[in-house]
Amino acid sequence: MNQQPNSPHTQNRAWRRRCAAVLFWLVVWQAAAMRMDLPLFFPTPLEALRRFFELLLEGALFGPVLRSTARIMGGYLLSFAAALLLGAAAHRFAPVRALLEPLLLAVRTVPVVSFVILALICLPSRLLSVLISFLMVLPILTGAVIEGLDRLDPTLTDMATLFRVPPLRRLRCIDLPQLLPTLTAAARRAVGFAWKSGAAAEVIGIPAGSIGEKLQRAKVYLMTSDLFAWTLMIVLMSVLTEALVGALFKALTKSTRRLKIETGAPAAATTHPAAARFTQCPAASLTITGLCKSYDGASVLTDFTLTCPPGTRTALMAPSGAGKTTLLRLAEGLEQPDSGQITWQNGESDNNVCLCTLFQEDALVPGLSAIQNICLTAPHLTRAEALQALDRVGLAEDADRPVSEYSGGMKRRTALLRALLSEGSAVLLDEPFKGLDEESRKQTVQTVDALLAGRTLLLVTHDRRDAEDLSARIVTL
């Protein structure tokens, strides 16, 4: 039976292999040192370890380690901050990306010693390791930020925009979970580069009281045991700081899966949660006039006109590929028409109507549960209200499982409830019942009918039964 990659057994076996590999090379080192029998130039591992502990007990390690760590990790943190700014700018603006590419390529390819020599001309030696650490990890971190931002799911971005998710909540619950895997791997890899380049800069610049000064002194006086001891210290600090960075990112990842949800008593069994709120909001009207849209010269919509009075239910029907989803995205404002006009009106307010949407794809945040996905866009809901709505479509028992573990039909019902339970004057649904079996479909149709609560409905479908079950007027594209 194959073991899962992250199972405890597999992890323990991998750890044992790494330990065995380290032990093998230590034995090779010991054998080579004994064969050469030149302890002044090539000490054994035991001699290097003995000297390491001597320096540790003497307290000679702490001052240089603290000073070098402050400089090297200071450069690392400055580089991380710069990478976030530069990466975001490069993702957003193509000219910025074009300007950054040759600069980052130069930093990656030019030898470290060249930067060190140039920096020594205009910087004091104590700042050299800060600058070199900053420069050497900047391409790694900036590239990771750009890559992560480029990979953001556009469907989740559209969802956050349309549901008007507040910026901080959007960053923590939607954007960061997508960015963190790429950033975590790059941040941990960059720690090793920071230590190697920073230590090399200190050896050349020789700032007082640093690890680099100790390495230079060991070289000059042929104290190879000290050289190996200080090198071991650099390795240990690199491993420790990498582990610390990994732990910080792990904690950050866990925090993105926590969403504060208000508790409260459930609504009466005969009512649908939150439905009363929607009856107090005036329904929106939609007017579409002379709408045209084409892609790469191929016309999708031509001179389309539609009027949806407040509180009405309208179903747009057409075969697959006829432009139903495109029309819905135009009505949502996610795309712009080539010509024509789309006007939403809610009382005296034009084009500022809150829309509740079910996308063609479910657009659920994978790491959040069903309740969290619903309350992400509907913070007014209590846990009891969301749980009661999930119960009506047969999902109450799975309400706290991550939706990444759901079947396609379960995801569809969750996304549909999210749209219906969000506050807005109009509800737009794209193939709401696809992937549902007959029993689930019947439950879901009843829930949709109740939770519309007098709001305007615009439905796109290729199945006439969807329109008939929701008593919607049918318009054929």
Is residue 427 included in any domain, yes or no?
A: yes
N- to C-terminal Cα separation, the chain: 54
Is residue 301 included in any domain, yes or no?
A: yes
Residue finishing a domain among 224, 255, 286: 255
Is residue 12 included in any domain, yes or no?
A: no
Same domain for 225 and 328?
no
Same domain for 59 and 181?
yes
* pLDDT at residue number 111: 87
Same domain for 309 and 455?
yes
Does 33 or 157 have the greater pLDDT score?
157
Same domain for 123 and 204?
yes
Whether residue 298 is predicted with pLDDT greater than 90 in this model: the reply is: no
Same domain for 236 and 376?
no
Q: Domain holding 206: CATH number?
A: 1.10.3720.10
Q: Tell me which of 33-37, 336-340, 358-362 is least confident.
A: 33-37
Tokens linked to 206: 């020789």
Sequence letter at residue 14 = A
Is residue 369 included in any domain, yes or no?
A: yes
* pLDDT at residue number 4: 54
Same domain for 250 and 295?
no
* pLDDT at residue number 270: 42
Is residue 31 included in any domain, yes or no?
A: no
Number of H-type helices and E-type strands within the chain:
18, 9
* pLDDT at residue number 415: 94
Q: Domain holding 366: CATH number?
A: 3.40.50.300
Same domain for 287 and 249?
no
What is the tally of structural domains in the chain? 2
Quick: pLDDT tens for 412-439: 999 999 999 988 889 999 999 988 888 8
Tokens linked to 28: 């090779």
Is residue 266 included in any domain, yes or no?
A: no
Q: Which domain holds residue 52?
A: 43-255
Same domain for 100 and 234?
yes
Same domain for 123 and 251?
yes
Neighbours of 79 (CB within 10 A): 25
Quick: pLDDT tens for 196-231: 999 999 998 888 889 999 988 888 877 888 888 898
Whether residue 67 is predicted with pLDDT greater than 90 in this model: the reply is: yes
Identify any residues that bridge with 292 across adjacent strands, giving them in sequence order.
339
Residue finishing a domain among 227, 255, 283: 255
Whether residue 370 is predicted with pLDDT greater than 90 in this model: the reply is: yes
Sole residue written with tokens 């901050």: 81
Q: How far apart are CA 158 and CA 273, in angstroms?
A: 26
Same domain for 408 and 375?
yes
Identify any residues that bridge with 227 across adjacent strands, giving them in sequence order.
none
Same domain for 98 and 204?
yes
Contact 226, 218 (CB under 8 A): yes
**Strand bridging mode 349-350 / 298-308:** unpaired
Quick: pLDDT tens for 223-238: 888 888 898 899 999 9
Same domain for 367 and 238?
no
Residue finishing a domain among 210, 226, 255: 255
Whether residue 1 is predicted with pLDDT greater than 50 in this model: the reply is: no
Is residue 268 included in any domain, yes or no?
A: no
Contact 257, 367 (CB under 8 A): yes
Is residue 167 included in any domain, yes or no?
A: yes
Neighbours of 178 (CB within 10 A): 19
Integer angstrom CA distances of residue 349 from 155, 353, 424, 427, 461: 28, 8, 13, 17, 29
Nearest CA to 68 out of 187, 253, 208, 177 is that of 208
Query: Mean pLDDT for the chain?
Result: 87
